[in-house]
Structure 1
Amino acid sequence: MSSFTPVVLRHIARATHASRLGAAALLGAALAQPAAAQETPTAADANCRSQVSRFEQAIAFVRDAQGVEAAGRLKEQLLPAKLESELLMAGGYCQLARHLRDKRLL
């Protein structure tokens, strides 16, 4: 049972106060969960994160050279915070990296 994630183990521990049937159903659901559902980072995710990191490094360079206000204004012009949040929520770092490439910011 060491292949369970800590989150699954916590849910199983909480289920001890529930009925045996409820605990069995929870355990069955945990066993039926595929290994990919545990959100292990893939090579594509790592590549997307590194691309987004390059954009953030460029903003950090501007911050060091021109100051916090100038970097904030530039980032807001290039990638508004609301849009960045929406892209991350909708498709993660790969969606954000795709947007940055489409806008030729990478």
Structure 2
Amino acid sequence: MTHACHPDEASPATGSGRPRAEVSRFEQTIGFIRQTQGNQAAAELKEKLLPAKTENDILFKDGYCGLATYLREKKLTR
């Protein structure tokens, strides 16, 4: 998979930069759903949008950069 991350964006010293921020925004949205609709609704929505197995596979293979790319490709981030 090709992605547009720069080496310095994924380094631990920078806190993973923009990709981690994009993933964080997605997680914050799921958190909002959790607060307003409950845990079950949030879990179901997250599993529908980003299945746990897919998330783990991407994180293991490509890290936060790959996960941010996946979220962008699925139009799950702005």
From 18, 24, 27, give the equivalent of 1:47: 18
Instruction: Report the count of equivalent residues.
Output: 68
2:48 pairs with 1:98:
no
Could you say what secondary structure the match of 2:12 adopts? Answer: coil
TM-score with structure 1 setting the length: 0.60
Per the TM alignment, residue 70 of structure 1 is displaced from its structure 2 partner at its CA by 0.2
Q: Following the alignment from structure 2 to structure 1, what is the Cα–Cα distance between the partners of residues 25 and 68?
A: 10
Per the TM alignment, residue 42 of structure 1 is displaced from its structure 2 partner at its CA by 5.6
Question: Which residue is equivalent to 2:28?
Answer: 57
TM-score with structure 2 setting the length: 0.81
Per the TM alignment, residue 76 of structure 1 is displaced from its structure 2 partner at its CA by 0.2
**Which has the bigger relative contact order, CA under 8 A and spacing at least 6?**
2
Q: Where do 5+ consecutive residues of structure 2 fail to align? A: 1-9
Identity over aligned residues, as a percent? 50
Q: 1:67 to 1:92 in 2, by over 3 A?
A: same
Per the TM alignment, residue 46 of structure 1 is displaced from its structure 2 partner at its CA by 1.5
Q: Which amino acid aligns with 1:64?
A: Q
Q: Where do 5+ consecutive residues of structure 1 fail to align? A: 1-38
Question: Which residue is equivalent to 1:88?
Answer: 59
**Runs of 4+ residues deviating >6 angstroms:** none
Q: Following the alignment from structure 1 to structure 2, what is the Cα–Cα distance between the partners of residues 68 and 92?
A: 26
